[in-house]
Structure 1
Amino acid sequence: MRNSDDYVFSDQIGHLLRRAYQRHIALFQAAIPDSELTAAQFVTLCAIRKQDACSLNDIVKATAIDQATIRGVVERLKKRSLVSVSADPGDRRKLIVRATGKGRALTDRTIPFARDVTEQTFGSLNPGERVALDFLLRAMMRTEQS
């Protein structure tokens, strides 16, 4: 068993992933045209746009944002008139979320900036390193789901 004195937190995968994510979020916030739009709100809008109309559970599955957080994200998007929320006619307990015209337009305007942010996040990684990073992150997610 290893001694706790040789544990260097900054060498740990969680720390490195967090730092990379923090850098990505900073790049996103600096690049997008709407300073009020967060990364979580953007991916939520993208998920809703892809499915047209969806439940909160559908959004959670698509975005990997937890249920409690997604409720707040959707509420903030609703306050900005970027989504509409209504009861499901078949199950009044279930909420259906749809992007409004304003929400779809904002998503469409933001996507090119988001693509640039992805490029900036990859930074100086060469094409092989980019493929390897993508592969490894997806492999880690598959392990989590097993």
Structure 2
Amino acid sequence: MAPPKSLPDPIAPAQLDASGYEFSEQIGHLLRRAYQRHLAIFSQTIDDPQLTAVQFAVLSANRRLGPSSMSDLGKATAIDGATVRGIIERLQARGLVELQSSPDDRRKSIVELTGRGHALLEQTTPTAARISELTMSDLNAVERVAVLHLLRKLCGPDGE
């Protein structure tokens, strides 16, 4: 049996031929297009037309973590602090979350789902799972496992 071939070293940027570069075949472009497709499916399918995918992610993270700081919700959802603050303000305006001062640090706000927030998650979570299925509908079972594995790997160590 022949020994396994090692993978080639990555091509140094100086070695790339610009004439062969096609942006539409690059990972960033393809990831963006796949994400745009997912967002379109989400907005067309979700039970609450006012709910965005990132709002759903923040609500879901808050349900999983329990009462949480905005910073913790930002880390859990990979959303920067300023953006997560705006999302939480919109969710609060809809009565889906409430903010309270932390008993440990009065400068810190704790985000907690309201009854309406819990009810919305109960209603929309099955649809969100269906949205994931619709996004991957052109993939067979093996491809679905592979793409999720590879995306987690691309996110870096520990999904960071």
TM-score bin (small chain): over 0.9
Could you say which structure has the higher helix fraction? 1
Q: Determine the structure 1 residue equivalent to 2:124.
A: 110
Q: Determine the structure 2 residue equivalent to 1:38.
A: 52
TM-score, normalised with respect to structure 2: 0.87
Instruction: Tell me, yes or no, if structure 1 residue 76 matches structure 2 residue 71.
Output: no
Q: Determine the structure 2 residue equivalent to 1:140.
A: 154
Q: Which string of whole-angstrom CA distances, capped at 9 and with x for unpartnered residues, describes residues 17-39 of structure 1?
A: 00000000000000011111000
Letter in 2 for 1:27: I
Offset of 1:141 from its aligned partner? 1.1
Q: Determine the structure 1 residue equivalent to 2:80.
A: 66
Question: What SS does the corresponding residue of 1:84 show, helix, strand or coil?
Answer: strand
Separation in 2, partners of 1:143, 1:8: 29
Q: Relative contact order (alpha carbons < 8 A, sep ≥ 6): 1 or 2 greater?
A: 1
Q: How well do the aligned residues superpose, as a CA RMSD in angstroms?
A: 1.4
Offset of 1:4 from its aligned partner? 1.9
Residues 153 and 159 in structure 2, CA contact (< 8 A), matched pair in contact too: no
Could you say which structure has the higher strand fraction? 1
Separation in 2, partners of 1:83, 1:9: 41
Letter in 2 for 1:108: E
Letter in 2 for 1:85: L
The 1:124–1:145 alpha-carbon spacing in structure 2 relative to 1, beyond 3 Å, is closer
Structure 2: stretches of 5+ with no match in the other structure: 1-14
TM-score, normalised with respect to structure 1: 0.95
